[in-house]
């Protein structure tokens, strides 16, 4: 099955499409898809048939169908938004698209129609607090979390109704970490009841036990994303987990590196150090098989490719590609 990589180029108002060579991890440019605004987050439905782009400069949500053979995108339509989104995700059944809004301090849910396009009016809009940053439903599709960075510094806990798309506050509504932590993005472990957050202000990652019956989180481990002795300015941006559940990665903006961790059988982390990467790695991602990692340098305009050692989780550089102005989101998809 072919694998394509979709790259949001915020500074060029387009999505660049690359074909991935599964034997080498190298990328071949296919085409650029022009947009009506500056793209930020990208998301895909569970079957990789529809792709969604948040256009932050024009406050729009664009929907596309994905050709399974060529990887090409066909525009299905765009809808207006009340604010510019910083994260998008599709629920586990592929019926609703969830968004987080940093400036507005909110989250919303849009229904997806029979063609897979987002409808104009959101099913709901919830004002939470400033600096909301990410939202994803859990594997059971019953719960979702909304972390907030900076002054809000908290994680909202929601129940998700997969029939209506409604989010309702969990009875234990908030998890509040230590001051100046700033939980930003998160991933669910594929087989353990554990959720990992990267912390923007604290330059760290925190592992949380996930009570799948109550939909609540409780922290049990926090590790720095930086090497000992680093004294410069830094913020974390993104975190990703290997498909095997054995490795975790988080990006450092300032130190300009990917922090690497091994995950043990209980879900605890062990630092593997940092892999230097492009300047300001706002986003990065793994290919669906976990063979390669691609990090986008928002400031450098380059995309760095790495091979993932399947035994150790360490990264080895493959090649660096000049891709254009301000790459902000990396989405590899296996199609077919």
* pLDDT per residue as tens digits for the range 104-137: 999 999 999 999 999 999 999 999 999 999 999 9
**Is residue 43 scored above 90 in pLDDT?**
yes
Classified as helix, coil or strand, 161 is coil
- Per the prediction, the chain carries an average pLDDT of 98
pLDDT tens-digit series, residues 300-318: 999 999 999 999 999 999 9
What are the backbone angles phi and psi of residue 10, rounded to the nearest 5°? Answer: -60, -40
Q: In the chain, pLDDT over 70 holds for what percent of residues?
A: 100
What's the N-to-C CA distance of the chain in angstroms? 6
**Is residue 178 scored above 90 in pLDDT?**
yes
pLDDT tens-digit series, residues 207-220: 999 999 999 999 99
Options 3.20.20.140, 2.130.10.10, 3.40.190.10, 3.40.50.620; CATH of 36-176:
2.130.10.10
pLDDT band at 60 (very low <50, low <70, confident <90, very high): very high
pLDDT tens-digit series, residues 132-171: 999 999 999 999 999 999 999 999 999 999 999 999 999 9
Whole-angstrom Cα distance, residue 209 to residue 145?
13
Looking at residue 112, what DSSP letter applies? Answer: B
Query: What pLDDT shows up at residue 122?
Result: 96
Query: What pLDDT shows up at residue 235?
Result: 98
Sheet of 247-253: strands edge to edge? 235-241, 247-253, 257-263, 269-276
Q: Is the pTM of this model over 0.95?
A: yes
pLDDT band at 336 (very low <50, low <70, confident <90, very high): confident
Query: What pLDDT shows up at residue 83?
Result: 96
Residues 174-184 have a mean pLDDT of 98
* Residue extents of the structural domains in the chain: 1-34+277-336, 36-176, 195-273
Q: In the chain, pLDDT over 90 holds for what percent of residues?
A: 99
Whole-angstrom Cα distance, residue 299 to residue 138?
32
Whole-angstrom Cα distance, residue 263 to residue 246?
5
Query: What pLDDT shows up at residue 98?
Result: 98
**Is residue 288 scored above 90 in pLDDT?**
yes
> Burial of 162 by CB count in 10 Å (0-12 exposed, 13-18 middle, 19+ buried)?
middle
**Is residue 253 scored above 90 in pLDDT?**
yes
| 101 and 92 Cβ atoms separated by less than 8 Å | no
**Is residue 1 scored above 90 in pLDDT?**
no
């Amino acid at each position: 099955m072919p694998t394509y990589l979709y790259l949001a180029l915020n500074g060029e108002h387009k999505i660049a499409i690359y074909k991935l060579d599964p034997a080498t991890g190298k990328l071949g440019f296919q085409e650029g898809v022009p947009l009506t605004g500056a793209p930020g987050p990208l998301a895909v439905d569970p079957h990789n048939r529809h792709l969604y782009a948040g256009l932050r400069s024009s406050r729009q949500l664009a929907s596309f169908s994905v050709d399974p053979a060529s990887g090409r995108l066909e525009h299905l339509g765009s809808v207006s938004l009340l604010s510019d989104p910083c994260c998008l995700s599709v629920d586990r059944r592929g019926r609703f698209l969830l968004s987080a809004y940093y400036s507005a301090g909110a989250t919303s849910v849009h229904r997806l129609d029979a063609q897979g396009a987002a409808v104009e009016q959101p099913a709901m809009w919830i004002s939470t607090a400033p600096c909301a940053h990410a939202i994803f439903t859990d594997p059971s599709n019953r719960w979702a979390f909304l972390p907030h960075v900076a002054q809000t510094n908290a994680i909202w806990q929601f129940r998700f109704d997969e029939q209506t798309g409604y989010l309702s506050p969990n009875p234990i509504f908030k998890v509040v970490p230590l001051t100046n932590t700033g939980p930003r993005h998160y991933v669910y472990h594929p087989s353990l009841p554990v959720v990992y957050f990267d912390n923007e202000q604290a330059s760290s990652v925190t592992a949380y036990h996930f009570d799948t019956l109550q939909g609540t989180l409780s922290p049990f481990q926090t590790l720095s994303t930086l090497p000992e002795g680093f004294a410069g300015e830094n913020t974390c941006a993104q975190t990703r987990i290997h498909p095997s559940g054995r490795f975790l990665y988080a990006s450092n903006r300032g130190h300009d590196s990917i922090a690497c961790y091994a995950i043990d059988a209980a879900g605890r982390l062990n630092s593997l150090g940092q892999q230097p990467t492009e300047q300001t790695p706002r986003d990065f991602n793994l290919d669906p098989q976990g063979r390669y990692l691609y990090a986008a340098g928002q400031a450098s305009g380059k995309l760095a490719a790495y091979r993932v050692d399947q035994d150790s989780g360490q990264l080895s550089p493959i090649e660096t590609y000049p891709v254009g102005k301000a790459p902000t989101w990396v989405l590899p998809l296996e199609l077919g």
